[in-house]
Chain A
Amino acid sequence: MRVTATGVSVSIDGAPILDEVSLTAAPGCITGLVGPNGSGKSTLLRCLYRIIRPQQGAVLIGDDDVWQVPARRAGQLRAVMAQDQELDNDYSVRDIVAMGRIPHQRLLERESSADRAIVDEALARIGIEWAQDRRFATLSGGERQRVLLARALAQDAPVLLLDEPTNHLDVGAQLELLDLIRELRLTTVAALHDLDHAVAYCDAVALLDQGRIVAAGEPVAVLTPERLAEVFGVRAAMTTHSLTGRPHLVFATGTSRPSSERYAHSEHANRAQ
């Protein structure tokens, strides 16, 4: 299912965070949102989460405007792998994955055998059924992200939204998770910090800077050394990976612009984070 943003503008306390952003994420593809801190990636996702309502424009999933349909319907359209995982809870892994069924259940409706089967399948597909009786808080960071991905899968929505899914994970867990996400073949919109991940895993990327989309399209075409120098203030080169033969982004160290210069223009944007 297609995800579309048309002329989305958001300002918080008078400071513009998103400025008429338009974007289309194609069905079945992974679309990466990249850009510096405070560029508006997360805010755009939060519009799709139904947490921030755009002051102008609309976000659509398929033909449904996320903010026009009931909240529960939005929960059937897109699943969110959230970053606000609360560790101070006693839920078991299975409890958490079963929450994915909430948008499909009516008030007072009990968990049906169909729901249970979907939860079983999600646990198995993500490879964490062995942990289903464990407490979420006792798992490692990588395992927790898999649990949240399983919950998103149990939600059985055509669109998957991710905000920095690999945050705080070691490199093995990062690649494992991204491989898994790619295998799901869902329409995926993901905010990513690691530009090389964007090159390796995304079918398309949108580069944001100061609340606007600077460029969008194929990763190799968008993430050119010139643009990266301009937007991030780094020196980068697109090379070929010696193991995979695929495009690979490398950065030159010790040559970045001082951060005071980089952030002077976007100080307001950081507050929105």
Chain B
Amino acid sequence: MASAPPVERIRRTGPAAVRAHLIPDRAFPLLIVLLAGAVALTAAVAIAVGTVSVPLADVAAVTWAHLTPGDTERSLLYDQIVWDFRVPRVLLAGVAGAGLSIAGVCLQALVRNPLADPYLLGISSGASVGAVVALTLAPAVIAGLGVAGAAFAGALASVALVVGLAQRAGRVAPGRLILAGVAVGYLGSAVTSYIQLEANPSELRGIMFWLLGSVATASWSDLLAPAVALACCLLWLLVDGRRLNALTMGETSAAGLGIDVNRLRLGLLAAASLLTATIVSVAGGIGFVGLLVPHAVRLLVGPDHRRVVPVSLLLGAVFLIMVDLLSRTLDRPNEMPIGIFTAAIGAPFFLWLLRRQSGAVR
């Protein structure tokens, strides 16, 4: 220990309160390994289970056949079920769960508000407007765009509107961001509701499914944009987790520590928008994941973003793969939208979190 004399008259408060999080720091590598294993396992099970059950051995065989370049043999019995339907679906569930969780981490760090989630910026409501318009009013007009393209355009438009409203002279103020996001969100809901009223009954189920989120129709081409967005954002956040920590201590703290606060905020905004827009446009409005996972992760490993980011990624993926599996097995052969389950699990969890926080902090 250093030898400089400490000042006397120290008044120590309360009994020694130790760290609040559940997983000790030295168990972190083990946690990562376990979670990675859990992702692989849940993915394998989710690929195997469905209206046609596929033995795990065949899941492995088909996957192996596609991943090894030399073998072009495609005569395997379950090839189409596994490779054309289940694998992209499970991968999209994983990518969406991971991406929405990471977007939630970004926005919670950005606005320093525990209620922040990926839909805070009005992204989902903008995407909904785009998708619902594509599904009902003008299929011909935006046929080239598709539902996903229209949703993506809607999402970007709403982000642009929110950021435009929230910035002043190039500086983004978190408080205004929340207000602008809520306002644009309600505006989007109003438009979506009106179109739903005008829609004919045959279109309604499709709209409902889209609004509540589903990965049922996932194809390989749907995966590309969310996966690329996730990879880029993840790379940045893993490298830069320390600066996120400083930002959560406050604007002055972060600026004092040599961080360009406005640039970091804009970066977080861009990352969260890109992730959410690419995911929502192919998987619909899957709620609660981006709110719930980061909070759960902080309970587990504490607030340090160098841990929060990788754990959120893995836990988000496991969570949504499992929820998707649940949504298509509980009421077989019918499928239910994912959003129903994420909310049904998420709301009680959130209430518990609220009680725990009010007990621990104040």
Chain A contact residues, CB within 8 Å of chain B: 46, 49-51, 71-76, 78-92, 95-96, 99-100, 102-103, 105, 107-108, 117, 120-121, 124-131, 133-135, 137-140, 142-143, 148, 152, 155, 161, 163, 172-173, 176, 179-180, 183
Given the interface pairs A92-B19, A125-B6, A135-B19, the reply to whether A102 lies near B257 with Cβ below 8 Å is yes
Which of B7, B112, B114 touches A127 (beta carbons < 8 Å)?
B7
Which of A72, A82, A129 touches B258 (beta carbons < 8 Å)?
A72
User: Is B13 among interface residues, defined by CB-CB distance under 8 A?
Assistant: yes
From A81, A99, A120, A161, name the one whose CB has the most chain B CB atoms within 10 angstroms: A99
Q: How far is the CB of B99 from chain A (nearest CB, A)?
A: 22
Q: Assess the A142–B257 pair: CB atoms within 8 A.
A: no
From B10, B21, B298, name the one whose CB has the most chain A CB atoms within 10 angstroms: B10
Interface residues of B in 221-278 (CB under 8 A from A): 239-240, 242-243, 245-246, 248-253, 255-261, 263
Q: How far is the CB of B176 from chain A (nearest CB, A)?
A: 14
Complex interface: chain A residues within 8 A of B239 (CB):
107-108
Q: Which 6 A-B pairs rank lowest in CB-CB distance, beginning with the nearest?
A: A75-B258, A80-B256, A127-B6, A84-B250, A103-B258, A82-B252
Q: How far is the CB of A16 from chain B (nearest CB, A)?
A: 16
Q: Assess the B260–A71 pair: CB atoms within 8 A.
A: yes
Bound-state CA distance A88–B298 (Å) is: 12
- Enumerate 18 A-B pairs (CB-CB under 8 Å) in ascending A order: A49-B252, A71-B258, A75-B256, A80-B257, A86-B249, A90-B303, A91-B249, A99-B253, A102-B246, A102-B258, A117-B2, A125-B2, A125-B4, A128-B10, A133-B19, A135-B19, A148-B253, A172-B9
Q: How far is the CB of A80 from chain B (nearest CB, A)?
A: 3
Which of B19, B248, B259, B260 touches A86 (beta carbons < 8 Å)?
B248
Q: Assess the B249–A96 pair: CB atoms within 8 A.
A: yes
Bound-state CA distance A103–B258 (Å) is: 6
Q: Assess the A95–B304 pair: CB atoms within 8 A.
A: yes
From A91, A100, A143, A163, name the one whose CB has the most chain B CB atoms within 10 angstroms: A91
Q: Assess the A89–B248 pair: CB atoms within 8 A.
A: yes
- Given contacts A74-B258, A83-B252, A86-B248, 20 further A-B pairs with CB under 8 A are A71-B258, A75-B257, A80-B252, A80-B253, A82-B249, A84-B249, A85-B253, A87-B361, A99-B257, A102-B257, A105-B242, A117-B2, A121-B4, A124-B2, A124-B6, A127-B6, A127-B7, A128-B10, A155-B256, A163-B252
Complex interface: chain B residues within 8 A of A86 (CB):
112, 248-250
Interface residues of B in 135-169 (CB under 8 A from A): none
Q: Assess the B6–A155 pair: CB atoms within 8 A.
A: no
Complex interface: chain B residues within 8 A of A127 (CB):
6-7, 10
Q: Which residue of A lies closest to B263 (CB)?
A: A71
User: Is B302 among interface residues, defined by CB-CB distance under 8 A?
Assistant: yes
Q: Assess the B13–A140 pair: CB atoms within 8 A.
A: yes
User: Is B1 among interface residues, defined by CB-CB distance under 8 A?
Assistant: yes
Q: Assess the B13–A138 pair: CB atoms within 8 A.
A: yes
User: Is B33 among interface residues, defined by CB-CB distance under 8 A?
Assistant: no
Which of B16, B245, B249, B361 touches A134 (beta carbons < 8 Å)?
B16
Q: How far is the CB of B13 from chain A (nearest CB, A)?
A: 4
Q: Assess the B246–A99 pair: CB atoms within 8 A.
A: yes
Q: Assess the A71–B259 pair: CB atoms within 8 A.
A: yes
Complex interface: chain A residues within 8 A of B351 (CB):
none
Chain B window 273-302, contacts with chain A (Cβ cutoff 8 Å), 1 for yes, 0 for no? 000000000000000000000000010001
Complex interface: chain B residues within 8 A of A143 (CB):
11-13
Given the interface pairs A86-B250, A90-B21, A121-B4, the reply to whether A100 lies near B112 with Cβ below 8 Å is no
Q: Which residue of B lies closest to A103 (CB)?
A: B258
Complex interface: chain A residues within 8 A of B7 (CB):
126-127, 176, 179-180, 183
Bound-state CA distance A183–B4 (Å) is: 11
Bound-state CA distance A196–B3 (Å) is: 33
Q: Which residue of B lies closest to A139 (CB)?
A: B13
Bound-state CA distance A71–B14 (Å) is: 39
User: Is B76 among interface residues, defined by CB-CB distance under 8 A?
Assistant: no
Q: Assess the B19–A142 pair: CB atoms within 8 A.
A: no
Q: How far is the CB of B266 from chain A (nearest CB, A)?
A: 13
User: Is B208 among interface residues, defined by CB-CB distance under 8 A?
Assistant: no
Bound-state CA distance A85–B9 (Å) is: 24
Which of A92, A137, A142 touches B11 (beta carbons < 8 Å)?
A142
User: Is B61 among interface residues, defined by CB-CB distance under 8 A?
Assistant: no
